Chains A and B, each alone.
Chain A
Amino acid sequence: MNRFDYVRPTSLAEAVAAAAMPGAAYLAGGTNLLDLMKGGVARPERLVDITRLPELNRVERLDDGSLRVGALVRNADLAHDQAFAATYPAVAEALLSGASAQLRNAATVGGNIMQRTRCSYFYDTASACNRRELGSGCDALAGENRHHAVLGWSPACIATHPSDFCVPLVALDAVVEIEGSKGRRHVTLEEFHRLPGEAPQRETVLEPGELVVAVRLPAEASAFASHARYLKLRERTSYAFAVVSAAAALVVEGGRIRQARLALGGVAAKPWRARAAEAALLGAEPGEAAYAGAAALALAEAKPSGDNGFKIELARRVAVRALSLAEAGTPARLPALPASVFASTTGARHDA
């Protein structure tokens, strides 16, 4: 990797100041950034190590009933926080379905949101990639792209956002707390990631030097605690990125869906909130018919970006299944294989 300056600020203000210069990057868990640096994909001139900033390491309930999760909270710590998992079960399930135990121990909340795509052409510096180098082109368009986007892509970029965590977060109206030289601001997670359009190199709304300091889950998000699931279809039972995934959350009263949330993962450059589907579910009778209709709406705009048309049908099916699972209710315990299709609570022994 390139030579770089390494600074370890002791306060948030110092950190933001240190990262103001062009070419600076924040370092937290490093599970993605260090790989990118070793591969020459990212070549920051300065690393601002924020891991010693104590105020970013907390999980706290705010007066308005929302939950504030510091950007440095480790994925594993958050998922295994029993109160958190009981209140936001789909989020905990998504966290535990991601990466490996070792990576979850190191990876942070802020880093998860900020992780880069797994598009192999982004990683391969000999390939053209507008996300890595705007104007160079997109070699994924006619390349190995069966895992690429089916929603919100542009000819400039067909990459997906690989996070599991972000999928239930966006469904639950999570808000990203951002610190910058001009002070603090709040952006919904839905607005935080950008679709590629003509500028795929701008992956988020962060301005240079801005730092994600926390993620907030609004008070209303806890209403779904008893009916929230994350389902992740993958080609290896653990330690694999989603082919497609879905987070679903329902509030059912009097035989009708009173609130519905649905988001998809692995389908777009951002965690994909399916608002039209949610709207269609409101007031509907819970059941496969309603879910199928909603799923069709969620994928209505979908189109293959390459050899990946099968993902559209799979995404519909995963959405239907996730909604069915949410309706069935959050299991009392997290499944041994979180978010797996092989973790059905109604199931028999799978290894019998």
Chain B
Amino acid sequence: MTPDLNLSHTPAHRRQGSSIGQPMTRRDGILKVTGAATYAADNHPPDMLYAVLAVAAIARGRVASLDVAAALAHRGVVEVMTPANRPALALDPDAKFHPFMFRLDLLQNDGVRYPNQPIAVVIAETLEAATEGAALLAPRYETETARVGFEDAETFVPGGVGVGNPASQQKGDVKAGLAAAATRVEARYETPPQYHNAMEPHAIVASWDGDSLTVDTPSQGLAIAQGRIAGLFGLSPDKVHVRSPFLGGGFGSKGLVSGPQVLGILAARLVGRPVKLVLRREQMYGPVGHRAPTRQTLRLGIDSEGRLTALDHHALTASSTFDDFFEPAADASHTLYASPAIATAHEAVRLDTGTPLFMRAPGEATGSIALESAVDEAAWACGRDPLDFRLANYAEVEPMTGKPFSSKALRECYAEAAARFGWSGRPLAPRAMRDTAGLLTGWGMGTATFPALMFQAEARAVLKSDGRGLMETSAADMGQGAWTALAQIAADGLGLDIGQLEFRAGSSDLPDAGIAGGSGHTATAGMAIHNAGAAVIARLADIATADAASPLYGAGNEGVVARSGRLYRRGDESRSESYTEILGRAGLSEIEARGTSAADQDTREAYAMHAHGAVFAEVKVDPDLGQVRVTRLVGAFAAGRVINPRLVRSQYLGGMIWGASFALHEEALADHRTGRIQNANLAEYHVPVNADVPSVEALLVHEDDPYVNALGIKGVGEIGITGTAGAVANAVWHATGVRPRRFPVRIEDLLAGGGLG
């Protein structure tokens, strides 16, 4: 059973007719703003105990001793789980059968391979007792030298990057292109390690009933989580029930089950009682993924007409010592700018960190800030306006593959965003603009892109004789608005007003909705919902058109239209019948059908599918003191059909703010000796506050895409970061004359670069 969430069935701003395209407010909004939404850690089953992780203070070595007796002696402590007594698993946590199966630290031994790796779990009657019990363990270590930075380890070429892309790709002759160029630009950029920092920390409440397991835990992909847990514990997946109605942000860090979540399940197994385990903020800097640092080198050749002759993008990145995830930063150069020769390559080192993972726009975010900076340098080197330069190098087909785009309204994005921003008349030279307060003012731009991905999903649709409909799929709402947008698709798919629809999601006992990742959830789950709706309407039509008593008798499947709870005969709307009447006469209380979705491989072979956008940024910089602020951001994005413009705009704004954060704020500072993150808290790991982004605008550019899927949906969750980060960096250059070479931009770099008075 799914929990009764009391979701409002009828969102505000509802119009009759099609739900798709309407700017409906979130159906879960009231629950969230009143605190009634039950996030994972809000669950308190009877007899529940609290578990707290003890984590490693070293990056590399082994745990020599733990004072388990001291912890057990603390009042309220029930049990301490260590490698010595951790319940057995059916699967080695270090087993890896496919690239998306990441190795977990589940107390399989006393080894330590990154700071904040779990080394024990203390389970107690109260959170306070468990916390103090963890402190009393007072671990001693045998410590080996930590490998913290790029210089600490040998580079190698990874077998693949990102989601299985080749580490190197090329077309044309880059060397020749560079040699023939009238202008050459070579530049290096560095991006720091970043951590997802969802507001809601990873949390789990685990309850065993014999060999059945129920967990409340945030998950971006419930079926994947269910399967992973079942595999680790040797259970049939139907014995594992994962509930995740609400996520307080995920950004990729909740895409796959993390080690600490499994430790909560193990703790519950060990003590035979329900257990809650919630990560402390600083414990999120290690075992739940991060964005790896990059050092990127770009070489661009440009002819006398301002057109690229060669684009060479090399990225050095890092993975953990024990698993593989390589930030595919250089692949950002595959899709944006036309060039007869393109080469991308990745190298990597292995560091004593947790394994990096997908973090909102993995590869695109890091690669985009470097590529857009380099393109800006190239435009300046050629004496061209940055927008003109990009238009001169506009890719009419996907540069790396030569495939046509399924749709690409990037020109319109450039035009609309530039007009809204007021780009024309921008002086080419840096340091040419000041505001009336004397602040250095700079304008920069960047191009945004993100692939239009689709995965596989299933949904179940039900029509009931009372005229209501039900749609079920295990979709995950991590804040993007799936509860609302997918319900809009469901309502249209069932031909019902959204008020007549019950939409169930967020639970693993529902049909698999795939993963809320890769900006592909609305397209993937949405298409399954659409198809399930069509299938159940087809069944209803079969019943009606075969029933001599129905006004639709003989119309045939092709001949009816479903709308607002009625079937109409196509071409003669005077002949219609309500769902209730059709089912009632047939003596059926309900009918159901399932629908699935998957990317159409043939069209994917034939077409390149990407969302696009253009972002313009204004920054102001104090001319003496160097403090930087993004005073304006204007983005225009084209991403196919928009299901809910309110939610889509919200995704763009969030992405753009993240882009500003990438350029100016975010950075995890690791001590170069110990590898421990020194700013593992939200006071000192900076993300923007409202005052940092006083004006952000996102424009929705119309785009019809006949190829991506039947609904014409691309993704909107990640694209906002791309383009924006580079636009802000370029605006900093335009304001100060100092080209940011490492991110985030630091005052001392502006000072040393001569950008300040």
How long is the Cα–Cα vector from A40 to B137 in the complex, in angstroms?
13
Contact A350 B694 (CB under 8 A): yes
Which residues in chain A, 125-141, are within 8 Å of chain B measured between CB atoms?
126-127, 139
Interface flag for A5 (CB, 8 Å): no
Set of chain B residues within 8 Å of A1, measured between Cβ atoms? 128, 131-132, 135
The 8 Å CB contact of A310, one of B437, B665, B671, B752, is B752
B747 touches A337 (CB 8 A): no
Contact present for A38 and B131 (CB under 8 Å): yes
Give A144 Cβ to nearest chain B Cβ, in Å.
Answer: 5
Please tell me which stretch of B412-420, B538-546, B623-631 contacts chain A, meaning at least 4 of its Cβ atoms lie within 8 angstroms of it. B623-631
- Asked whether B620 is an interface residue with its Cβ less than 8 Å from the other chain, the reply is yes
A-side interface size class: 35 or more
In chain B, what residue has the closest Cβ to A337? B691
A64 at the interface (CB under 8 A from B): no
Q: Give chain B nearest CB distance to A233 CB in angstroms.
A: 5
Does B303 have its Cβ within 8 Å of any Cβ on chain A? no
Contact with A along B608-631 (1 / 0, CB 8 A): 000000000000101011110101
B686 within 8 A of A: yes
User: Please, how many angstroms separate the alpha-carbon atoms of A144 and B626 in the complex?
Assistant: 21
Q: What B residues does A55 contact at CB under 8 A?
A: none
Question: Do B751 and A310 touch across chains, with their CB atoms under 8 A apart?
Answer: yes
User: Given that A118-B684, A310-B752 are known contacts, is A344 also in contact with B437, CB under 8 Å in the complex?
Assistant: yes
One digit per residue, 1 when the CB lies within 8 angstroms of any chain A CB and 0 when it does not, for chain B 659-689 equals 0000001000101111010110001101011
A237/B692 in contact, CB under 8 A:
yes
Q: Contact: B437 with A347, CB < 8 Å?
A: yes
Q: What residues of chain B lie closer than 8 Å to A146, measured between beta carbons?
A: 748
- Please indicate the chain A residues that have their CB under 8 angstroms from the CB of B58 in the complex: 126
The answer to whether A234 and B627 have CB atoms under 8 Å apart is yes
Question: Is there a chain B Cβ closer than 8 Å to A321's Cβ?
Answer: yes
CB of B570 closer than 8 Å to a CB of A? no
Given contact pairs A120-B684, A313-B751, A233 touches B678 in the complex (Cβ within 8 A) = no
- In the complex, the number of residue pairs spanning A and B with C-beta atoms less than 8 Å apart equals 120
- Cα of A237 to Cα of B628 in the assembled complex, Å: 9
- A253 interface residue (CB < 8 Å to B): no
Q: Assess A142 versus B665: contact at CB under 8 Å? Given A234-B627, A310-B747.
A: no
- Complex Cα spacing A321 to B746, Å: 20
Q: Are A238 and B625 in contact (CB under 8 A)?
A: no
Chain A residue, CB-CB nearest to B757: A317
B435 to A348, Cβ gap below 8 A? yes
B123 contacts chain A at the CB level, 8 A cutoff: no
Judge whether B695 is part of the interface by a CB distance below 8 angstroms.
Answer: yes
Contact B624 A237 (CB under 8 A): no
B101 within 8 A of A: no
Q: A337-B691, A347-B437 are in contact. Are A317 and B135 (CB under 8 A)?
A: no
Are A236's CB and B135's CB within 8 A?
no
- Chain A residues within 8 Å of B694, by CB: 350-351
Q: Is A102 an interface residue (CB 8 A)?
A: no
B665 x A236 contact (CB < 8 A): yes
A-B contact pairs, 11 of them (CB 8 A): A2-B135, A126-B57, A126-B676, A143-B673, A235-B665, A237-B629, A237-B691, A238-B691, A314-B626, A346-B436, A347-B436
**What would 13 more interface pairs be, CB under 8 Å, given A239-B689, A348-B436?**
A2-B135, A120-B678, A127-B674, A142-B673, A143-B673, A233-B747, A235-B686, A235-B747, A236-B692, A243-B747, A317-B624, A341-B622, A351-B695
Chain A residues proximal to chain B, CB less than 8 Å:
1-3, 38, 40, 118, 120-121, 124, 126-127, 139, 142-144, 146, 233-241, 243, 310, 313-314, 317-318, 320-321, 337, 340-342, 344, 346-348, 350-352
Lowest 6 CB-CB distances: which A-B pairs, in order?
A: A347-B437, A126-B57, A351-B694, A310-B748, A237-B691, A120-B678
